[in-house]
Amino acid sequence: MVGLVIVSHSQKLAEGVRDLAAQMAAEVPIAVAGGTGDERIGTDANKIIAGIKEVYSEDGVLIIFDLGSAYLNAEMAIEFLEDEMKEKTEIIDVAFVEGTVMAAVLSSVGKKRQEMKEELKELCVGKMP
C-alpha cells in the first residue's frame, strides 16, 4: 500500500487533513509533517524525512504539500534518503485536501504509485515548478 506524507506549514492543518483522509481510508499509512521543529508555522525537512520513514514500504510514498516552500523542503528531504527510498518517494501537485483524500482512497484500493499519479492529475493545481 502506498504511504502518504502530508506536508503543511501548520501542524494542526496537516493533522486535520490526515484525520479527514483516514475517515475514508483508515488502513492507509499517513504521516504528517506540519510546522517547524519548534512548533512555529513553516516546514521542516527533518519532519518530512521522519514522515517518509514512518509510512515507507516497497510500494513507495507520495508526498502532498500545501504551499511552495513545503515543496522545496520536501525536495530537500528526498535528497537525504537512501537511494532505494529516494526512487520510491515522489512529490505530487494536487489540491491539498481533495488530493489527500483521493490519494488515500486510491491507495486503499491497491492502486500503485504510477496509477495514483495518473488519476490524481485532474486535481493538479500548478504548485510545482
Catalytic center residues: 9
Q: Distance (Å, rounded) from C-alpha 86 to C-alpha 83?
A: 5
- The answer to whether the beta carbons of residues 5 and 33 sit under 8 Å apart is yes
Q: Which of 94, 77, 79 lies closest to 128 in space, CA to CA?
A: 94
Q: What angle do CA 122, 124, 37 make, to 5 degrees?
A: 140
